[in-house]
A and B are shown apart, each in its own frame.
Chain A
Amino acid sequence: MRTAAVKNEEDDEQLELAAIDADKLEGLCIGTPIYTRYGDEAQLAPLMSTIQAVIASFADMSDPIRSMTMGGHTIVFYTSGPLYLMAVASVDEPAQQLRSELAALTKIFEQRSNFDLRQLLGGTEPVIDQLVDRMATSFAFSLGSLDTFLLAARPKGLLYAMLVADLKLVTLMRPRKHSLHPSDLMLLFNMAANRAFLTGEHWTPVCLPRFNDQGFLHVYVNYVTPNAALLLVSADRDSFPAMSGCCEAIVADLSSDGSLQRLEDAAVTACIASHKALVQNFGSCFDDSVPERDQMRIMSTYKRTEAAYDAVLAWQSSKFELYATVSPTMDVRMMIRMVNNVLEWIRNEEDHLFIVNPPSY
């Protein structure tokens, strides 16, 4: 449901908010709106002035406004320095979760607060849109960990090498001393998901704030199969030729034993498990048969499960978290038995499901 957010200027605010026919709308502004997930930020201008008025009227108090409920919408505010972020959700997503998504977005916008953010953001809208879309349906964001897959490869002479298939980390090579923070990896995955990279070789600088928020690294991106990208990260901006050669070697290696083909054929599993010690989760993708709307609903249920119990089974132990959705008519004992089977299988297959010892050099 992508609809332009607000059109009618003379409407009162109640009507304007009601006119938002989007599942969730996220926007932020410095005087003028600089990014919105739905519609065009220019169309949001009249709404933004209302929002600023609302925020301002609470600003004098020691307790700034956090969220409000209006009709079928939850409106969540998050202010960070000069940035106001707002999320409007029609699905009943917990306000807490929306706030943490907004907080994650602020980190990105905050980096260069002294510039005209709109200009800097020019062209990044697709990337930010993807990031926001992904927050709605990916577990990696809400669990603060990574998706994994299985495979192995051998790189040489670079900072990090990773193979990413359908936003899952297939394999990661890293130096002994540097691990990559999940949020940095998420930025890389998200960037690599852009269609602009689908053909050929690419070389672009990228800032990974958890690695170093003052400088940037250079990333080689090449889709080695229609849905698997090889990402080679280097600190040297002149190392493109070396990365290109390295990619060629890795592709030759992976093709010779059929790994690339297996990657293409990989099937999706139904359960979600998060290994706390390894900060990784497994099997987070929804089957295509689950409509997007339902994906959002299930995700939002999973997120709420952290506080309350719903139709979903959540298993939180010191070692991992497991979430499972089953048909609502399923008998509870049956469900527990099933989940136990899944857990046992995961334990047996741990070495294969998670990247337990990422190869380092």
Chain B
Amino acid sequence: MPKQHTFKVVLLGESAVGKSSLVTRFVRDQFDPYKESTIGAAFLMKVVPIDNENSANLHIWDTAGQERYKSLAPMYYRNAAAAIVVYDITQAASFERAKSWVKELQRQAEPGIVIALAGNKTDLSDRRTVEYAQSFGLLFFETSAKTGDQISGLFTELAKKIPIAAEPAQLQGQSGVNLAQGGNAAGGAGDCAC
């Protein structure tokens, strides 16, 4: 039995770029062309092998991308070991949004957080408006939640890049979900949903 390490991973990005679809493809191998926009955040788990001795139990927070949830993001990326910032390759504005998420994470999230940039919807490459390659030294993948293209590669490579030491001490050796403990909050949530 490989040793299992629990890591918190957060997905960020503009609404409708396909964050929930990416996670659903990865965790359940399903795709819904009429996915409802996320409210708050959804939580999913999946174990991926890292090497012969270790595997990563990813605790994934799929956040809501809509503007009104923006101020809640710190609550979800707090203490995350890794983040996937997603944009839609057919929407230039979503790439701009992704860049500002990366900056916010570098400024406010846990130091040493592993960030991956994912350009989603490669199946629509005939409508591409964002060119490949500007990855700013981050882990970079172009994916399609619809076809499954590069999805497991994205999560597996991300898991491999997380230093095992990034597992919070209180999570070691326990399988339960025990996220978001301690640490100083990078700002609470400001808006209410009513």
Contact = CB atoms under 8 A, between A and B. Distances in A.
Interface string A157-169: 0000000000000
A201 B62 CA distance: 10
Interface residues of B, number: 31
B12 interface: no
Nearest to A237: B75
Interface stretch (A25-33, A91-99, A135-143, A187-195): A187-195
B169 interface: no
Contacts of B15: 122-123
Given A195-B36, A207-B192, A216-B189, A200 B43 contact: yes
A215 B190 CA distance: 9
B145 interface: no
Contacts of B24: 199
Contacts of B44: 200-201
Interface in A99-115: 108, 111-112
A240 B177 contact: yes
A261 interface: no
Contact of B36 (A196, A209, A216, A244): A196
B64 A240 contact: no
A195 B20 CA distance: 13
Given A123-B66, A216-B192, A240 B43 contact: yes
B18 to A, nearest CB: 14
A242 B160 CA distance: 28
A205 B72 contact: yes
Contacts of A127: 39
B137 interface: no
A124 interface: yes
Given A205-B40, A240-B177, A245-B177, A122 B192 contact: no
A200 B27 CA distance: 11
A120 interface: yes
A358 interface: no
B68 A120 contact: yes
Interface stretch (B122-130, B149-157, B178-186): B178-186
A237 B188 contact: yes
B68 A238 contact: no
B37 interface: yes
A122 B41 contact: no
Contact of A241 (B38, B64, B178, B189): B178
B37 A123 contact: yes
Contacts of B41: 202-204
Residue with the greatest number of chain B CB neighbours at <10 A, chosen from A198, A209, A216, A245: A216
Given A194-B39, A238-B181, A123 B194 contact: no
A206 interface: yes
A219 B191 CA distance: 15
A126 interface: yes
B43 A122 contact: no
A244 B193 contact: no
A111 B193 CA distance: 10
Interface string B11-37: 000010000000010001000000011
Nearest to A245: B176
B177 A206 contact: no
11 contacts: A108-B194, A112-B192, A123-B37, A123-B39, A123-B66, A124-B193, A202-B39, A202-B42, A207-B194, A237-B188, A240-B180
Interface of B: 15, 24, 28, 36-44, 64, 66-69, 72, 75, 176-181, 188-189, 191-194
